[in-house]
């Protein structure tokens, strides 16, 4: 009975969404898939890097001092135009890692039922280092290539997870990670406050943005992404170690 009502409810909801979203009539309609008109959206100016009025074309490896000089436009939105959201996002992860730590504050490590075998152990020794370095590479190049602080940080955490799986005795130093997390978070905010005192705006990009496409470009964007990467990496590692902990015996 309950299922029938649920099916009916979901059906009504689906019909409600469908009939209103793809309706025809006066006014601006919801654009059909593939027909998004960028010229009517705020993101048009993000792509052209012309929020502050400079309409000239941005050319890879040539344009100097473009606003938010990051070649990856998603990064320029995430860490520059809408950096305040990212600060909030980092805080979300911070607070949920904190909550998991508060709830599962076991001292000793959970043991697996089957001990890790030889293949796993030796494979992890080889690939963990590669994963770590790739993670760092990804968040340092976040303003040039796809990726950035969040994927890079999760890669670092996945290396930590591999260590946990491959070694029954392995346990991270939670305190060190907490310290790293706190430092990275505070530095993010201190950079924001520096922008407030130097440029008059919180999270203002106060460094020169350089030539689009160079490693040393985009001002504070790569610096912030390094903080984000370190913070996400340490927070997710803390999550893993909290989930694999149990009350001491």
Partner 1 sequence: MIQYLFIGLILIGIYGLLTQKNLIKLVVALNVLEVGVNLFIVSTGYVKDGIAPILFKGATSTNNNFVDPLPQALVLTAIVIGVGVTALSLTVVRKIYEKHGTLEMDEIGSESDD
Partner 2 sequence: MINPVLLIAIPLLFAFLSVMFKKADKGFLILGILFNLISAFFLKETEVIIGGWKPPFGINLVADQYSIFGLIILNIVFAFSVVSSLPSVKKYSTLLLVSLASLNGMLLTGDLFNLFVFLEIASISAYIMSTMTKKYKGTFNYIILGALGSNLYLLGIIFLYSTVGTLNMSDMASKLHLVNNNVLLLSITFIFAGFAVEAKLIPFNGWVKGVYGNANDLNGGIFASAYATAAIMVFGRLFTNVFTLDGTLKTILLAVTVSTFIFGEIAAFSQKNIRSTLAFSSVGQAGLIATLFLTGITGGAMMQVANNAFAKLVMFTIAGAMYVYTGTDNVEKLQGLFKKHKLIGFGFSIAALSLVGLPIFYGFYVKIFALTNLFKINSYWLPAFILFSSLIEGIYYIRMLVKLWNPGEEGKESKDEYTTKLSLENTFAYAVLAVIIGLFIIYISVNPEFITQGISNYLSNIPGGM
Q: Give the residues lining the site for partner 2 (CB under 8 A).
A: 16-17, 19-21, 23, 25-31, 36-37, 40-43, 45-46, 51-52, 80-85, 87-89, 91-92, 94-96, 98-99, 102-103, 178-179, 181-183, 185-186, 189-190, 192-193, 195-196, 199-205
CB 213 within 8 A of CB 145: no
CA atoms of 194 and 216, how far apart (whole Å): 20
Q: Which one, of 206, 205, 204, 217, lies nearest residue 62 by Cα?
A: 217
Q: Which does 182 bind (CB under 5 to 8 A by kind): partner 2, partner 1, none?
A: partner 2
Total site size for partner 1, rule CB under 8 A: 59
The verdict on 218 binding partner 1 (CB under 8 A) reads no
- The strand pair at 245-246 and 108-109 is best described as antiparallel
Phi, psi of 151 (to 5 degrees): -60, -40
Of 124 and 209, the one with the shorter C-beta distance to partner 1 is 209
The verdict on 92 binding partner 1 (CB under 8 A) reads yes
The verdict on 95 binding partner 1 (CB under 8 A) reads yes
CA distances to 43, 141, 164, 237 from 111, rounded to whole Å, are: 50, 37, 10, 17
Phi, psi of 94 (to 5 degrees): -60, -45
Q: Which does 227 bind (CB under 5 to 8 A by kind): partner 1, partner 2, none?
A: none
Q: Which does 71 bind (CB under 5 to 8 A by kind): partner 1, partner 2, none?
A: partner 1
């Amino acid at each position: 009975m309950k299922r029938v009502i649920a099916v009916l409810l979901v059906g009504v909801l689906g019909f409600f969404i469908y009939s209103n979203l793809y309706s025809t009539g006066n006014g601006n309609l919801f654009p059909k898939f593939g027909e998004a008109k960028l010229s009517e959206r705020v993101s048009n100016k993000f792509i052209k890097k012309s929020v502050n009025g400079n309409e000239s074309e941005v050319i890879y490896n040539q344009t100097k001092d473009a606003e938010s000089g990051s070649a990856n436009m998603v990064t320029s939105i995430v860490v520059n135009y809408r950096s305040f959201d990212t600060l909030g996002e980092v805080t979300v992860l911070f607070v949920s890692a904190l909550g998991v730590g508060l709830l599962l504050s076991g001292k000793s490590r959970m043991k697996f039922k089957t001990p890790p075998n030889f293949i796993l152990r030796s494979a992890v020794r080889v690939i963990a280092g590669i994963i770590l370095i790739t993670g760092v590479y990804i968040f340092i190049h976040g303003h040039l290539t796809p990726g950035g602080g969040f994927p890079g940080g999760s890669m670092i955490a996945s290396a930590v997870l591999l260590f946990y799986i491959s070694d029954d005795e392995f346990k991270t130093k939670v305190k060190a990670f907490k310290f790293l997390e706190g430092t990275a978070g505070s530095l993010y905010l201190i950079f924001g406050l520096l922008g407030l005192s130097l440029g008059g705006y919180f999270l203002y990009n106060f460094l020169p943005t350089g030539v689009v496409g160079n490693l040393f470009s985009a001002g504070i964007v790569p610096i912030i992404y390094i903080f984000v990467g370190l913070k996400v990496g340490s927070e997710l590692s803390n999550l893993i170690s909290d989930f694999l902990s149990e009350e001491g015996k």
